[in-house]
Amino acid sequence: MPMTPLDHALFRRMPKIALHDHLLGTIGCATFQALARARGAAITDDEIADLYDPAKKLGAMRVLRVLETQVLREPADFHRITYEYLAGHAAQGVRHAEIFWNPTPSVADAAAYARLLSGITAAMADAQADHAITALVLPSIDREAPPEAALAMVEWMIARPDPRAIGIGIDYNENKGPPELFTAAYALAGRHGLKRTAHAGEFGCPAAHIRTALRDLAVERLDHCYTALEEPDLCREIADRGVVITVVPTNTYYRRTLPPERWAEDHPIRRMPAAGLAIHPNTDDPPIHHIDPEGCWAMMHEAFGFGAADIRQFMLNGIEGAFVDAGTKAAWRKLFTAEFDALLQEIAP
């Protein structure tokens, strides 16, 4: 029997957590162009616009590297992009966000790290006051840089601790930087009480990367992890450890490699909950993927066929996976489920 479609208002208004957005990937085109002009960066408005054009993906890496090294130079730049991101997400029911930020390409020492971080954390405080959204930042290892740079990033975090810089992640091209290169950085973070998550099993990368992240990097959360499906034992291990997986419905790898007519049918996200995996949908690089929280959560229903009970569980998975204390999680579970159930009643056909 075909499912009765859920009203889009549910996805917009339901309380949500965002656990997987990259700060640099949240910048809108107009903001990027304005900041690039202000800093005299070696990039044109047209080159920047191409980053947001799905038909022109080729120069994306160069544009992002210019953004990191020439455009975002001042705490005020980071304040602007962080605040714009949080205000936009809050307008769509996001109550808490944990954002990845790669400091390595932008700074060279602990003082410079702390200087730019101050722009991010000040914006988080302002967004909390103005839009009732809480936020944390996860400085993230640029896995295309040498492992020593990852270790240095963790050392900066230890030297200049901030309660909002709660833990670490790792991203960029997984093929160029497998997780085993970064065990020292993750061990140091763990010894200093920093939370740990990692991109693994993205771009069709081996399931072994996920096992390494789980066992050797000792992550408390995982990002992507699609290839875990190839190994049922690994799925069981992830589930037994209670590790939540952030997934990205608009993930470009599957958009590119699966045939368009089979894309939604064959996408691994569709099969992950049945394999025992606690997944949670996210927007990743929202304006670049042409997606927002409402659209992302709607895709779980409309593209992958999950019903209201599944959506409610994904919402709870987000709370479970958040790097906040047990008391906050308990309060959110109560509040979010009450709001979700009332919304479902209100919009039910």
**Of 284 and 294, which has the nearer Cβ to Zn ion?**
284
x/- letters, 246..285, toward Zn ion (CB under 5 A): --------------------------------------x-
Q: Rounded CA gap, 269 and 265, in Å?
A: 10
Q: Is residue 13 within 8 Å of 110, Cβ to Cβ?
A: no
Q: How far is the CB of 159 from Zn ion (least distance, A)?
A: 27
Residue (252 or 337) nearer to Zn ion, CB: 252
Nearer to Zn ion by C-beta: 77 or 284?
284
Nearer to Zn ion, 203 or 263 (CB): 203
Whole-number Å distance between alpha carbons of 22 and 82: 10
Q: Lay out the site mask for Zn ion across 279-308 (x = CB under 5 A, - = otherwise).
A: -----x------------------------
At its nearest, how many Å lie between Zn ion and the CB of residue 290? 16
19 with 282: CB under 8 angstroms? yes
Q: How far is the CB of 280 from Zn ion (least distance, A)?
A: 13
Q: Which residue has the tokens 């993750």?
A: 186
Q: In the beta sheet, which residues pair with residue 223?
A: 199, 246
Minimum CB–partner distance for residue 223 and Zn ion (Å):
6
- Smallest distance, Zn ion to C-beta of residue 86, A: 18
Between 223 and 294, CB nearer to Zn ion:
223
Residue closest to Zn ion when measured from CB atoms: 284
Query: 170 has which bridge partners?
Result: 141
- Angle of the 75-90 helix axis to the 29-39 helix axis, nearest 10: 170
Cα first-last separation, the chain:
16
Element holding 17 (H helix, E strand): strand 16-22
Residue 142 or 284 with smaller CB distance to Zn ion: 284
What are 17's strand-pairing partners? Answer: 96
Rounded CA gap, 268 and 298, in Å?
17
Q: How many residues of this chain interact with Zn ion, rule: CB under 5 A?
A: 1
Residues 169-208 touching Zn ion, rule: CB under 5 A, are: none
Residues lying near Zn ion in the complex (CB under 5 A): 284
